[in-house]
Amino acid sequence: MNDGLKLLAEGVITHNLILFQGLGIYALLRFTKSICTAAKAALVMLAATMTACALVWGTHSLIPHNYSMRLPFDLLIALAAGLFWHKLLAPVFGKDESVDLRAAFFNSALVGVLLAVPEGLPEGPGIFSYGMAYAVGYGVVLIIMAGIRARLELVNVPRPFKGVPILLISAALLALALMGYRL
Amino acid sequence: MSLRRTFIKGLWRENPILRLAIGLVPALGITHLALNGVYLGLATTIVLLAAVLVKILVSEFVSKDVGVFVDLASLTIFTTLLYRLTGNYQPELLVQLGIYLPLVAVNGFVLQRLSVDQPPSARIMDALGMGLGYTAVLTVIGIIREFVGLGQFFGTAVLNGSLTPFSLAATVPGGFVIVGLLIALYNALSGRGGEIDE
């Protein structure tokens, strides 16, 4: 129980994929136009990550332990998980949905989670808690940033800072707020 | 567009980081040292160029749908090769780069450039120009972060105690601020701002 909570705290706060590892920045910039879009992207990431973790768990005996040889397997697993949910969710989300599903499924955050799986974890159910913790952390940040972005629309930001710069600086402030938990 | 202009556009007018805001993961995650920026930028350029050459060679024989899988396969193969070469010749650098070197295979910038439809010669010049523009900006970000955060220039201490380094700049949140400020500066110089390109 305590290990699970510790893992969740790591994934959401102290080792957050977006804020402290710089992964999934494409999603941070493109999928935070509204809270609804961010929530869908978060859901997509959670589904794809859990599926990828299940695949890693199911195939861990086949995957080489040598880190340099793991990359093709991790990419293949991320692609398979992404394509599976793409087929399943694309009709539900509709054609003009602003979440580009392919980009949401096959992104650096998902592959990063798989590449950083601690040794020994894929052999047990701990891989699922690990995947869920990091995917939840990713989703929470996307939703918070969508809220911040909606508020920023109402503020008179200097023109050169509009768009990407103010979003990155806001993300830095959010990261700083959470950084206290890392000390 | 002439080949020369295709090459030059990636350096400034359509720079992947400053203008298109793609491939930001290494810019934030690993450029706390300038050398990391140079290496990762060059690695990304080499992988992109190799994948573009494969795409040119096979484009006549495969459909567009299959082409996506060919792109992903070639990116994976070239990234793995580069990873192993780095491990053999620069094992310390490999440790420093961590998961960010393998992530070149799913770098948004590389995937985006591969999806642009152009004649073969323009594809090569585009990959070269964009890759060099990407490398240059990663290097600049690395130099700023290393100097401000660690008081060093390519690993050599330059402040020598005259100023205390602001270590936040070497962390990912510091990277967010520095990249944000650089993009704002680019927007001010090029008279744009306010939009995020899809």
Please name the member of A19, A25, A115 whose beta carbon is closest to the beta carbon of B173.
Answer: A19
A11 is a domain residue: no
Residue A23 has pLDDT above 90, yes or no: yes
- The mean pLDDT of A87-109, rounded to a whole number, is 65
Q: How far apart are CA B106 and CA A45, in angstroms?
A: 15
Could you give the CA distance from residue A10 to residue A176 in angstroms, rounded to a whole number?
15
Of B26, B30, B187, the CB nearest to A165: B187
Separation of alpha carbons A21 and A16, rounded Å: 7
Mean pLDDT of the region A165-173: 95
What are the pLDDT digits (tens) for B148-184? 999 999 999 988 777 888 899 999 999 999 999 999 9
By C-alpha distance, which of B3, B7, B124, B2 is closest to B55?
A: B124
**From the centroid of its chain, how far is CA A113?**
8
Token pair in block for residue A35 = 């809270």
Which pLDDT value is given to residue A106? Answer: 64
Contact of B83 with chain A, judged by CB distance below 8 Å, is answered with: yes
Residue A6 domain-assigned (yes or no): no
- Chain A residues within 8 A of B180 when measuring between CB atoms: 161, 164-169, 172
pLDDT in the model for residue B195: 63
pLDDT per position as a tens digit, A25-67: 988 998 898 999 899 889 888 998 999 999 999 888 887 777 7
Cβ contacts of A24 on chain B, cutoff 8 Å: 25
Please answer whether residues A24 and A134 qualify as being in contact, where contact means their C-beta atoms are separated by less than 8 angstroms.
Answer: no
For residue A165, the number of C-alpha atoms closer than 13 Å in the C-beta half-sphere is 21
For residues A127 and B160, the answer to whether their CB atoms sit within 8 Å is no
Quote the number of domains for chain A.
1
Query: Chain A contacts of B77, Cβ < 8 Å?
Result: 72
The minimum CA-CA distance between B122 and chain A, rounded to whole Å, is 25
Please enumerate in sequence order all residues whose Cβ is within 8 A of that of A183, keeping only pairs 6 or more positions apart, or say none. Answer: none
- Whether residue A4 lies inside any domain: the answer is no
Per DSSP, the residues of B16-30 read TTTTS--SHHHHHHT
Q: What share of chain A is helix, strand, coil (3-state, %, to 5)?
A: 75, 0, 25
A2 assigned to some structural domain: no
Write B118-125 long-range contacts (CB < 8 A, 24+).
Answer: B118/B6, B120/B56, B121/B3, B122/B1, B122/B3, B122/B6, B123/B52, B123/B55, B123/B56, B124/B49, B124/B52, B124/B53, B124/B56, B125/B3, B125/B4, B125/B6, B125/B7
Domain with A26, as residue range(s), is 17-182
A78 contacts in chain B (CB < 8 Å): 106
pLDDT of residue A99: 53
Q: Is the pLDDT reported for residue A96 higher than 50? A: no
Q: Are B102 and A162 within 8 A, CB to CB?
A: no
Average pLDDT over residues B126-138: 96
Block residue for tokens 């199911």:
A58
Q: How far is A75 from chain B (nearest CA, A)?
A: 8
The answer to whether residue A110 scores a pLDDT higher than 90 is no
Tell me how far apart the alpha carbons of residues A118 and A34 are, in angstroms, rounded to a whole number: 34
In a domain, A10, yes or no: no
Q: Hey, what amino acid is at B172?
A: V
Decide: A23 and A140 in contact? Cβ < 8 Å.
Answer: no
- B67 interfaces chain A, CB cutoff of 8 Å: no
Instruction: Evaluate if residue A101 carries a pLDDT over 60.
Output: no
How close B71 comes to chain A (CA, Å)? Answer: 13
Q: Is the pLDDT of residue B193 over 70?
A: no
Question: Locate tokens 């869920």: which residue?
Answer: A132
Average pLDDT over residues A133-145: 95
Q: Which H or E run contains B144?
A: helix B120-150
Interatomic CA distance for residues B101 and A57, integer angstroms = 24
Beta strands in chain A (DSSP E): none
CA distance A128 to A8: 11
Q: Give dist(CA B177, CA B143) in Å, integer.
A: 15
Q: Which residues of B touch A164 (CB under 8 A)?
A: 21, 180, 183, 196
Best residue of A70, A71, A101, A105 to probe chain B, by most B CBs closer than 10 Å:
A71
Residue B126 and residue B10 in contact, taking contact as beta carbons nearer than 8 Å? yes
Task: Please indicate, yes or no, if residue A173 is contained in any of the structural domains.
Answer: yes
Distance CA(B127)–CA(B130), nearest Å, equals: 5
CB A103 within 8 A of CB A30: yes
Q: How far is CA A169 from CA A30, B78, B174, in A?
A: 16, 34, 9
d(CA A113, CA A42): 15
**A168:B83 CB<8 A:** no
- Selecting from B28, B99, B184 the residue whose C-beta is nearest the C-beta of A112 gives B99
Whether residue B194 has pLDDT greater than 70: no
Q: How far apart are the first and last CA of chain A?
A: 23
Mutation target among B22, B176, B177, B181 for the A interface, most CBs of A within 10 A? B176
**B28–A69 C-beta distance less than 8 A:** no
